[in-house]
Structure 1
Amino acid sequence: MPMLPNDAPILLYLWDKRTFYLGPLEEPLQLSQAASMLVLSLDGPLRIRRQGDEVTCRSALLPAGLALSVDTGLSRVAVCYLDVFGEDFALLAPRMSGEAIGMRFGLDEEAACAQQFDTLHRGSAAPEQVYAWLERLINPRQQVPAGFAPDPRIVRVVSLIKGDVACNHSIDYLAEQIALSVPRLTQLFRQKIGIPIRRYRQWHRLFVSTTSVARGLSLTEAAVAAGFSDSAHFCHTFRSIIGMKPSTVLTQPQRIRLFAG
């Protein structure tokens, strides 16, 4: 295993389309996926467990809605939470070599990708550099995947949820805006996004809270502004969805480079 760059900061970059983490993880992630995710180990194998089964790999593509654990050992990892509508996932899925326990693994050109992420980490790459690399990695031909078309009704619901994060729009209200019944909206949202509306709302509030921390608010201020009852509620939700304590990345300014674009 190569020597790790101990002086390189953790990179946590948040954009509206994607969220990116690059650095070591102090403990295995216990994930309850609220968004699809590409994870790639820079220094050693990943051990991914689900319902008693285990896969060892270097990279994995995890769909939204999956509950599993990811043990990175001592390796640094690149973690990219992908776009909510599934375009990134549709582009990456055919490029994975294997499938097991509900996920795909073995990205093509895996070693070259790991080397590029290593270079970005050692150089504390700026957000625009990282985003450009992710775009080349995920969609090198800049094309829409065959057969992919987001449902405009679900696009509208997501827009309403994101438009006012502190306003807890009822499912009845959301259904009315797109002329669907509540049961049909509930079914369609889960079918297209992979998780229930409530889970997506929690995920987006985590994104908004973390973005606010990046822009200077305290953890408590950011949590309350995003609709959490208090910082404890935020911390519990962060751990249940992201799989780690928020203190691991949000309260260590000397170790982390945090950006929200």
Structure 2
Amino acid sequence: MNCGGAVVEIFRVRSARAVDNNKTEQKEGSVASLAEPSLAKSVADAARPDNLYVFARYTFFYTTPHHRPFRLQPHSATILLNAYGEPFKVMVGKRSYSTRAIAFGSLVSRQIIAPSSGLIALFVMPESPLFPRFVSLGPERFRLLDRDALATADEDFVALYEGHAEQDQAMRAYQRLTGLLGEGGTDATTWHRARELMQLIAENPGLSLEELAAAHRITYSWMSRLFSHSVGIPLRDYKNWLRRRKVWELLATNLSLTEIAHRAGFSDSAHLSRTYRRWFGMTPSESRRRKNVRYFSFPFDGHR
């Protein structure tokens, strides 16, 4: 099973430990009947584990009741919503938005500033065919979404958050969410070119944009545009993404943070920790200590 590198393996380790340890404010939606009373929900969330659902290649759901008020800037594209249809607040730049669902393109800096009870995130990795569709979010690279349009999947979202979703529920939730992005996507030629470029960089991580341009007999500026258009992010950011995948892989080993930092191309463990927190809202040490993550994996084909 592959989900953007070693993400599956690192969460598989945490899951095993968990088993061992047993554009503006929107109205409250149509899922009020599904929402638990606030006090009861707070009590339940205090002991609720995170959940990771892998059901499509380079795409997964992650749910968490744990609020971390850090500013994040992940390489993945993301759709964030509340399972119970309740509003939450997000800071993008200097502006605050109250919403019940929102989509972010890659590397959009944001901060969740409201309690995160009920939050579900759909993460889409740069290698996913769905990734370029987030370009349609426009120049600001994020969009508030219509949570009411997801009403037919309300029970599926609650099941995901509460940790008992089945494969068909995960797929319905995925289809409803990605449907809000519209039908636009990457044509076959562009996607094939993107796959070739990503494979080339994966095999030759030190390859510069100049060398890539020379290999394709085009100018530097044209290759820069070609890579960004095909893959969805600039070459420099894609290389940083590969370092992120490497960190995931190494965190599942017994290496020290200093050794991981050096192997993944960071100057030291402090540099790694600062960058990692910007990606995930926690330090790598905190990530390693987390035990209550349940892992769910479903069969999938190569087209999703």
Q: Where on the TM-score scale, by shorter chain, does this alignment land: which range?
A: 0.7 to 0.9
Work out which of the residue numbers 109, 115, 123 in structure 2 matches 1:73: 115
What does residue range 218-233 of structure 1 map to in structure 2 within 5 Å?
A: 218=255, 220=257, 222-233=260-271
- Output the CA distance in 1 between the equivalents of 2:155 and 2:47: 18
2:301 aligned partner: none
1:11 is aligned to: 51
Pairwise CA distance, 1:259:
7.6
Instruction: Give the secondary structure class of the aligned counterpart of 1:116.
Output: helix
Q: Which residue is 1:190 aligned to?
A: 228
Q: Is structure 2 residue 293 aligned with structure 1 residue 256?
A: yes
Q: CA deviation at 1:125?
A: 5.2
1:34 aligns with 2:79: no
Matched, 1:118 2:158: yes
Structure 1 distance, partners of 2:133, 2:194, is: 20
Change (3 A) 1:201 1:248: same
Higher Rg of the two aligned structures: 2
Q: Aligned partner of 2:66: which letter?
A: L
Question: In structure 2, do the counterparts of structure 1 residues 226 and 250 end up closer, same or farther at CA, with 3 Å as the change threshold?
Answer: same
Aligned to 1:88: 130
Q: Is the 8 A contact 1:9 1:23 kept in 2?
A: yes
RMSD across aligned positions (CA)? 3.8
Q: Tell me the distance in 2 between the aligned counterparts of 1:260 and 1:72.
A: 30
Contact 1:209 1:219 in 2 (8 A): no
Pairing of 1:82-161 with structure 2 (within 5 A): 82-84=124-126, 87-88=129-130, 102-107=141-146, 109-113=149-153, 115-123=155-163, 132=171, 135-138=174-177, 145-146=183-184, 148-149=186-187, 150-161=190-201
1:208 alignment partner in structure 2: 246
**Which has the higher mean CA deviation after the structures are superposed, 73-82 or 204-213?**
204-213
Structure 1 residue ranges without an equivalent (≥5): none
Q: SS at the partner of 2:245?
A: helix
Alignment counterpart, residue 66 of structure 2, candidates 12, 25, 29: 25
Measure the CA separation in 2 of the matches of 1:179 and 1:145. Answer: 33
Higher relative contact order (CA 8 A, sep 6+): 2
Q: Deviations over 1:94-139 (max 9, x none)?
A: 9x9xx9965212245435545423312323558x678645544456
Q: CA, structure 1 residues 151+248, in 2 after alignment: closer, same or farther (shift >3 Å)?
A: same
Partner SS state of residue 130, structure 2: helix
Equivalent-residue separation in structure 2 for 1:219 and 1:210 (angstroms)? 13
State the SS of the aligned residue for 1:34. Answer: coil
Q: Percent identity?
A: 22
TM-score w.r.t. structure 1 length? 0.73
CA 1:130–1:113 in structure 2 vs 1: closer, same or farther (change >3 Å)?
Answer: closer
CA distance in 2, matches of 1:129, 1:250: 31
Structure 2 residue ranges without an equivalent (≥5): 1-37, 299-304
